[in-house]
Amino acid sequence: MIPGILPLLAITIPLAAAALILATGRHMNLRDSVTLGAAASMVIVVLAMLPEILAGGRIGITLIPLLPGGDLALRVDALGMIFGIVASVLWLLNSLYSIGYMRALNEHDQTRFYFCFAIAIAAAIGIAFSANLVTLYVFYEILTLITYPLVVHVGTPEAMQAGRKYLAYLLGGGICLLAATILTYTLTGTTEFIPGGFLAGAGAAALSLQVIFLLYLGGFVKAAWMPFHAWLPAAMVAPTPVSAFLHAVAVVTAGVFGVVRVAGWVYGVDLMADLNLGVLLAVIASFTIITASLFALAQDNLKRRLAYSTVAQLSYILLGVSMLSTAGLIGAVIHIPFHAFQKIALFFCAGAVIVGAGRENISDMKGIGRKMPVTAVMCAAAAAGICGLPPFCGLVSKVYLTIGAVQAGELALLGVIIVSAVLNVAYFFPIIHTMIIARPSDDRALDTVTEAPLIMLVPIILAVTASVAFFFFPATPFLDLAEIAISDMSGAGMP
Amino acid sequence: MNAVISQLPPLLIVIPLLGALAALLLGKWNRAFAYPISLAMIGFQFAVSLVLMESVMDGDVIHYYLGGWPPPLGIELVIDSFNSFVLVVILALALLTAVWAHKGADLDIVPEKKVSFFVVFQLLITGLCGMAVTGDLFNLYVFLEISSIAAYTLVAAGRNPRSLIAGFNYLILGSIAAGFIVIGIGYLYIATGTLNMGELAVMLPAHYGQTTVYAAFLFMMIGFSIKVAFFPLHLWLPDAYTEAPAAVTILIATATSKVTAYAMLRVIFSVFTLQYVTDSFPVTELILIIAAIAIIAGAVLAIAQDNLKRMLAYSSISQMGYIMFALGVANQAALAGGILHIMAHAVMKGCLFMVAGMIIYRTGFTAIRQLSGLSRRMPVACAAFAIAGASMIGVPPTIGFMSKYYLVLGAVEAGEYLAAAVLLAGSLLAAVYIWQVIEVMYFGDIHDEDLGGGLEAPASMMVPVIILAASCLLLGIFVELPLEVVGPAAAMLLGGG
């Protein structure tokens, strides 16, 4: 087999699926089988690369020369593999769920929906496997544009408004990323990701490197750090599978992935420390974690509360990077998949409540668990996972982050983690209480409520099961991959 | 050099001129003859331009002396990597426009006038070819006037009476510009005694300090700035683009504006040379500032428009700023980006104007708000609009992104960080004006139900649109191919060739 064919396949499968989806749009069952078939084969292709990556290898392929300093090139390494597995596996779950959700609500323009979804996944995989900044940027922009039709799917004036906000933030971010890429290229003559970074040898002034880092951060506005997070709650007008896609599968994941990539493979830990960029990241992340958690408390709309929870949880990853210590970085990297599996389950539950009960506000969900037991229990489990309770994988990444904070000697960061844990409980447990324990407001309130269809429950159960499994076996494969990734990027002397 | 190839440059002009005459005469006899002859002539020119580009790609230059008279006595035609590239681009666009116009001309041209319409159409293209191949400054002016007069006529040829006013307006400003240019050329002749570009480049350095040369430069710059509609001398353009027949708008927006931009770059770099505009008479900084203003102002004005063609016209003013931006930065990367943008903008703006024309052809809609839900009626045309629009914004991996990347790279290398930021901001503004169309097309509700669905335009209009939309993507992904010509062309201009 040609080396490098697998990463190329991983991108072309969803692209080919997109074309097939358009071609088979008239036949609903055929079209949806295309999506499922592509998702399943993509999982197989991505997992087929896992053994070689776990053995410390890399799989690369250069497609075409594109620009000075950056061919269109793919290279799979441990960090990219983590994102790749998250995107492909969750796409499979999300596709199953979408089919149930979109059919149950009889949504319009489903062909467009699945078409955009498939291309968006190709872009996400492209980001995960990109070998240099130019390739990353190309797929990053494609992801922005192709998710726009998904966000504004309902087509109401409110949705269009949200869509404009979405585009303004993300295209603005794209411009920053492009500027940062070009500046990096002019300083060093390359944009190729190198473990441990390549900017240190450029001999550039500290101030300009700091400014470029700010541009990168602006570029990765997909990570929804405050105060540039407003696009994410606004995008909640989208259908629930799209929210799940934004929050777990690809979009925000691409943002935090980009930050980790740039920190470790462009700047390098030592340079980050020299330039005090860790402090900058820590301030941004701490501010975001606390503020977003407080915002989450105030939301009555379940999806909006989850959105603010995502904003806060993503900043855990930035916080881990900011520690610039081994444990902190590992915590950051494994929080990407662990948060994704738990958050997708939560969004699936929110969607199940919309389908089964037609309700979006938490205050209307009193006692809903009596009629929707599976959804309510799974929702409680996933929420407990995000709060960092056993036996869910959220605990694993939080333990690493805590160790990282202690290792770095930053008690302030430890304080942030503790305060945030309290806030997590404060905004998640009322949901669990309302759904399971509280009594319905009157006897007839639950008459119209039914459990969501099986095709939607299966992905929820699978996601929750996975997060339990990752608690008991964190090493397979995410922790192992994270350790390989971190040992790749860290030079000697890191605490 | 192959003997046949070396004879091609004059044939590029002469045969189509004879062809135009034949089309006119045969067309008087039977109207059906005019269009095929014009199409065949443009196809011939396109084929010749491809052969010429292929033969100069490795750095050769073809010199042809008309009548065997060497300069300064005779007129010289020169083919090098820069103008052969421009020729291929504009002739490809002209050919596609001509195919499009087979049906598209019905929109604004009454049947009795179609013969003369296509004859003038072809004269315009031939004038542009002349501008591109000539190595003689006065000859350049002559061809510029041939193509301009043809353009004034075509703009005014529509059924719409406002096209007459727009054409007249264009005629007045265009003639003023021509006056400026010819005065400038006269001054250069006074200073040096030659009109051959190659000789001027050699002789001018001795006269760099003279007021005559300064004046010549300024006159020509202002003249060309009007012709290319460089902000704030763009006032003729919005009306001309909006009111002209659809096919004419496409041709002027793609071919005419690009060749004029070519001529401006040629005069600045091959007659006055880089050294003149950076050292003796440092105007590049000023051009860069005006270009930055043009990019922003054009885009802001485009955002404010409700008429689709007028919005695209203001977008052209903004995009012309990109090409002038390259001139202002004047280094290898930026100039390569600028030349690449000549192609990129021709391809994407051609596609956008074709779709705008097809919308009018099928529905009569001209306002953006009328396009609500159009993607359900014209899915292919709207998809083409979306792709070309993405290229206009500069989304990777489209060709519009590639030229923008090189322009920003050049600006950053030159230390012009502010200018680079303005250019990037310009692409955000482009996103706003393109997106307000896409939003309406794709996510608006259909208002007038009685128009029905399935309004896709006929194949002869659709094929050019699909080719251009695909080119936006393919030329971007395989940008190495145009760069093989563009890179050397930029290097040649910087070297004063």
Chain B residues whose CB is inside 8 A of the A175 CB are: 424-425, 427-428
Q: How far is B339 from chain A (nearest CA, A)?
A: 16
Listed residue (B177, B183, B164, B196) closest to B77, CA to CA: B196
Residues A345-381: pLDDT tens digits? Answer: 999 999 999 888 888 888 888 888 888 889 999 999 9
Stronger pLDDT, A53 or A203, i.e. the higher one:
A53
CB contact under 8 A, B480 and A65: yes
Chain A residues whose CB is inside 8 A of the B333 CB are: 68
pLDDT above 70 coverage of chain A, percent: 98
- The Cα B316–Cα B295 span in angstroms is 9
Please tell me which of the candidates A65, A137, A182 has its beta carbon nearest to residue B396. A137
CB contact under 8 A, B478 and A171: no
Q: How far is A310 from chain B (nearest CA, A)?
A: 27
Average pLDDT in chain A: 88
CB contact under 8 A, B425 and A167: no
Q: Is A495's pLDDT higher than 50?
A: no
Q: Is A322's pLDDT higher than 70?
A: yes
- Name the token pair of B338: 């600028």
Is residue A458 exposed (0-12), middle (13-18) or buried (19+ Cβ within 10 Å)?
middle
CB contact under 8 A, A178 and B478: no
Average pLDDT in chain B: 89
Listed residue (B115, B79, B124) closest to B97, CA to CA: B124
Q: Looking at A198-202, B129-133, B237-241, which range is the least confident one? A: A198-202
Q: Looking at A444-453, B300-309, B462-471, which range is the least confident one? A: A444-453
pLDDT score at A476:
78
Chain B residues whose CB is inside 8 A of the A172 CB are: 428
Q: Looking at A41-45, A118-122, B179-183, B198-202, which range is the least confident one? A: B198-202
Chain B residues whose CB is inside 8 A of the A182 CB are: 405, 408-409, 412, 420
Q: Is A494's pLDDT higher than 60?
A: no
Give mean pLDDT, residues A95-112. 86
- Decide: helix, strand or coil at residue B438: helix
pLDDT score at B100:
92
Mutation to test the A interface, candidates B409, B432, B445, B481, most A Cβ within 10 Å? B409
CB contact under 8 A, B408 and A182: yes
Q: How far is A94 from chain B (nearest CA, A)?
A: 24
Residues B242-293: pLDDT tens digits? Answer: 988 899 999 999 999 999 999 999 999 888 888 888 888 888 889 999 999 9
Intra-chain end-to-end CA distance of chain B, in Å? 20
pLDDT above 70 coverage of chain B, percent: 98
Q: Is B204's pLDDT higher than 90?
A: no
Specify the DSSP class assigned to residue A132. Answer: B
CB contact under 8 A, A175 and B425: yes
Label residue B109 by pLDDT band (50, 70, 90). Answer: confident
pLDDT score at B293:
94
Chain B residues whose CB is inside 8 A of the A178 CB are: 405, 408, 424
Helices (H), A24-132: 28-48, 50-54, 78-104, 110-129
Please tell me which of the candidates A68, A163, A175 has its beta carbon nearest to residue B427. A175
Q: Is A34's pLDDT higher than 80?
A: yes
- Name the token pair of A185: 């290229």
pLDDT score at A491:
54
Listed residue (B222, B246, B220, B290) closest to B98, CA to CA: B246
Distances (CA, A) of A80 to A142, A174, A432, A478, B378: 18, 20, 35, 11, 40
Q: Is B361's pLDDT higher than 80?
A: yes
Q: Is A471's pLDDT higher than 80?
A: yes
Q: How far is A213 from chain B (nearest CA, A)?
A: 16
Chain B residues whose CB is inside 8 A of the A152 CB are: 439, 443
C-alpha angle B165-B167-B170 in degrees, rounded to nearest 5: 110
Please tell me which of the candidates B396, B439, B445 has its beta carbon nearest to residue A138. B396
CB contact under 8 A, B428 and A152: no
Domain chopping of chain B, boundaries? 283-497
Distances (CA, A) of A41 to A17, A33, A100, B277: 11, 12, 20, 59
**Closest chain A residue to the Cα of B436, Cα to Cα:** A164
- The Cα B171–Cα B248 span in angstroms is 15
**Closest chain B residue to the Cα of A112, Cα to Cα:** B442
Label residue A462 by pLDDT band (50, 70, 90). Answer: very high
Q: Is B497's pLDDT higher than 70?
A: no
CB contact under 8 A, B408 and A186: no
CB contact under 8 A, B397 and A66: yes
Chain A residues 186-215 with a CB less than 8 Å from chain B: 186
- The Cα A239–Cα A308 span in angstroms is 17
Q: How far is A186 from chain B (nearest CA, A)?
A: 7
Chain A residues 62-101 with a CB less than 8 Å from chain B: 64-68, 72
Q: Is B124's pLDDT higher than 70?
A: yes
Chain B residues whose CB is inside 8 A of the A183 CB are: 412
CB contact under 8 A, B405 and A67: yes
**Closest chain A residue to the Cα of B482, Cα to Cα:** A66
pLDDT score at B496:
67
Q: How far is B274 from chain A (nearest CA, A)?
A: 23
Residue A417: phi and psi, rounded to 5, are -65, -40
Please tell me which of the candidates B405, B408, B443 has its beta carbon nearest to residue A160. B443
Give mean pLDDT, residues A123-140. 93
CB contact under 8 A, A160 and B421: no
Q: Looking at A60-69, A218-227, B151-160, B417-426, which range is the least confident one? A: A60-69
Chain A residues whose CB is inside 8 A of the B427 CB are: 175
CB contact under 8 A, A67 and B402: yes
Q: How far is B385 from chain A (nearest CA, A)?
A: 15
Specify the DSSP class assigned to residue B372. Answer: T
Which residues does B contribute to its contact with A (CB < 8 Å)?
333, 390, 393, 395-397, 402, 405, 408-409, 412-413, 420-421, 424-425, 427-428, 431, 435, 439, 442-443, 445, 477-480
pTM of the model: 0.91
- The Cα B102–Cα A365 span in angstroms is 63
Residue B488: phi and psi, rounded to 5, are -60, -35
Q: Is B62's pLDDT higher than 90?
A: no
Chain B residues whose CB is inside 8 A of the A163 CB are: 439, 443
**Closest chain B residue to the Cα of A161, Cα to Cα:** B439
Q: Does A399 touch chain B (CB under 8 A)?
A: no
Chain B residues whose CB is inside 8 A of the A127 CB are: none
Please tell me which of the candidates B409, B413, B479 has its beta carbon nearest to residue A66. B479
CB contact under 8 A, B443 and A178: no
- The Cα A300–Cα A480 span in angstroms is 39
DSSP-assigned beta bridge partners for residue A73: A62
- The Cα A18–Cα A25 span in angstroms is 10
Residues A42-100: pLDDT tens digits? Answer: 999 999 998 888 888 888 888 888 777 778 889 998 999 999 999 999 999 999 999 88
CB contact under 8 A, A160 and B439: yes
Distances (CA, A) of A213 to A218, A394, A452, A492, B411: 8, 29, 46, 23, 20
pLDDT score at B20:
86
pLDDT score at A492:
40
| The 3-state secondary structure of A169-184, one letter per residue | HHHHHHHHHHHHHHHH
CB contact under 8 A, B442 and A175: no
Intra-chain end-to-end CA distance of chain A, in Å? 41
pLDDT score at A402:
92
CB contact under 8 A, A141 and B427: no
**Residue B383 exposure: Cα atoms within 13 Å on the Cβ side:** 13
- The Cα A394–Cα B336 span in angstroms is 51
CB contact under 8 A, B409 and A68: yes
pLDDT score at B464:
93
Chain A residues whose CB is inside 8 A of the B416 CB are: none
Peptide bond into A227 cis (omega under 30): yes
DSSP-assigned beta bridge partners for residue A61: A74
Label residue A3 by pLDDT band (50, 70, 90). Answer: low
